[in-house]
Amino acid sequence: MNITEKILAKTSGKKEVSPEEIVEAKVDMAMMHDLTGPLTVESFQKIGVKKVWNNKRIVIILDHQVPAESVRSAELHEMMRNFAKEQQIDNFYDVGKGGICHQVMPEKGYVRPGNLIVGADSHTCTYGALGAFATGIGSTEMAAVLTTGTLWFKVPSVIKISIAGSFQKFVTPKDLILHIIGQMKADGAIYKGVEFAGPTVRNMSVDGRLTMCNMVVEMGAKNGIIEPDETTLNYVKSRTNEPFNSVKSDSDATYEDVLNLDITDLEPQVSCSPSVDNVKPISELEEVSIDQAFLGSCTNGRLEDLRLAAEVMKGRKIKEGVRMIVIPASQEVYHQALREELFEIFAKAGAYVSSSTCGPCLGGHMGLLAPGEICISASNRNFIGRMGSPKAHVYLASPITVAASALTGKITDPRSLED
């Protein structure tokens, strides 16, 4: 079996499973936030049970509309605070205490190799970077998990993507995953697992792996996953003392398909409005002027991303007429960026720096776009209306491409700014 099948077999008490099989599996960790949590709580209350199945295995993180931008959001936040208190859920991260859910979960040690993790958010697939089976579910499904601690799954068939070669300078894992989505398209992996392997992945940082797995849902995948290795184990052990059992794919594991990529010649990639899979090498883009640049989100608001952007922005100024928003993915990232004086570089360049929130990514309450405006973003989605007006346009790129574009006022290959 491959790693995805092994985890689903283990958590459902079976010796082995195969694609298309329906299993009822025990959940190791469950996560919800301020947008999906209230619907989950309402559904849970309708079920009629008094106590959640295990208050130690539930994590609640306020991150999407943070700080509250309306009375309604404030009411929903209060609802989640009250639920956490009532159910004695200690793993509760209020405004200013945690950050974006998909950064906080790995940081705080809730993601461990071999675990089955569900989150009431589509980008829960991020956690597969640490060798867990992780997937997004709906709010009513989450209510069932809160009640029983189990959920049924159809075992997905798995596509293995083996990657070789070294990145050119200023080419990143974000460029790689955009390239893959451009090749496979938005429907290329519907309800399938995607397993990333090969020497390029083994040489990748945890931050880079999280970015890769974060975006598999943009090609329809049920989960993304990377076999745990020494990099994984060192990261997890530095975050938690909880026991875990790493799982790896068998040497004779079966896959629906195996794709081999070499990234030696990969150049920066851009996902062009209005769909994530509309990906082009940056050399094929004609000059596209921008109004806004956004560096942040659960895809690319990590320390590695901020450092890379600061590298190209240090001592430079953002182009007149362009606004740039920088949001670290968590309070931990925020504090470290402060210590490294990264925010000073961004602020001196003319950027607006915020504390951790999802904010502009989902058109929440910061950095929304007016009709006709163009934004280059390090986030994960560029659907019509995603970041504000349905007549605005969002282009997705790596953190350093976003930074370079903010400096020039147009979508720019960061390699052209190299000293």
Give the Cα separation of 400 and 402 in Å (integer): 5
- Answer whether 99's CB lies under 8 Å from 88's CB: no
Residue 268 lies in a domain: no
CA atoms 32, 34, 36, 42: torsion sign: positive
Token pair in block for residue 285: 């883009």
User: What is the rounded distance in angstroms from the CA atom of residue 164 to the CA atom of residue 183?
Assistant: 17
Q: How many other CB atoms are found less than 10 A from the CB of residue 125? A: 29
164 and 141 belong to one structural domain: yes
Give pLDDT, residue 114.
97
* Residue 148 and residue 66 share a domain: yes
Distance between CA atoms of 130 and 377, rounded to whole angstroms?
A: 25
Residue pLDDT, tens place only, 211-225: 999 999 999 999 999
Compute the 3-state secondary structure of the chain and give helix, strand, coil in percent, each to the nearest 5: 35, 20, 45
> Is residue 204 a part of any domain in this protein?
yes
Taking the C-alpha atoms of residue 412 and residue 51, their distance in angstroms, rounded to an integer, is 53
Answer whether residue 328 is part of any domain.
yes
CATH of the domain at 235: 3.30.499.10
The torsion angles phi and psi of 103, rounded to 5 degrees, stand at -95, -40
Rounded-to-10 torsion of CA 406, 274, 396, 347? 30
pLDDT at 418 (0 to 100) = 76
The total number of structural domains that make up the chain: 2
- 144 and 251 within one domain: yes
244 occurs within a structural domain? yes
Chain-wide mean pLDDT for the chain? 96
Pair (172, 46) in one structural domain: yes
User: Residues in the chain with pLDDT < 50?
Assistant: none
pLDDT of the residue at 419:
60
Length of the chain: 419
Quick one: 175 and 143 in the same domain? yes
92 and 224, same domain (yes or no): yes
Asked whether the bond before 67 is cis by omega within 30 degrees of 0, the reply is yes
**Within this chain, do residues 231 and 82 fall inside the same structural domain, yes or no?**
yes
What CA–CA distances, in Å, run from 218 to 70, 213, 258, 335? 30, 10, 19, 31
Q: Which long-range contacts (CB under 8 A, 24 or more apart) does 367-371 make?
A: 367/292, 367/294, 367/325, 369/291, 369/292, 369/394
Q: Are residues 256 and 282 in the same domain?
A: no
CA 18 to chain centre: 28
Domain residue limits at 150: 3-261
- The reported pLDDT for the residue numbered 116 is 98
Give the three-state DSSP class for 109. Answer: coil
Pairing of strands 22-26, 150-154: antiparallel
pTM of the model: 0.95
Judge whether 178 lies within some domain. Answer: yes
Dihedrals phi, psi of 166, to nearest 5 degrees: -110, 145
Residue 344 to residue 406: CA distance in whole angstroms: 16
Write phi, then psi, for 109 (nearest 5 degrees): 80, 15
Same domain, yes or no, for 175 and 324?
A: no
Query: Do 233 and 310 share a domain, yes or no?
Result: no
If asked whether residues 28 and 101 sit together in one domain, one would say yes
336 three-class SS: helix
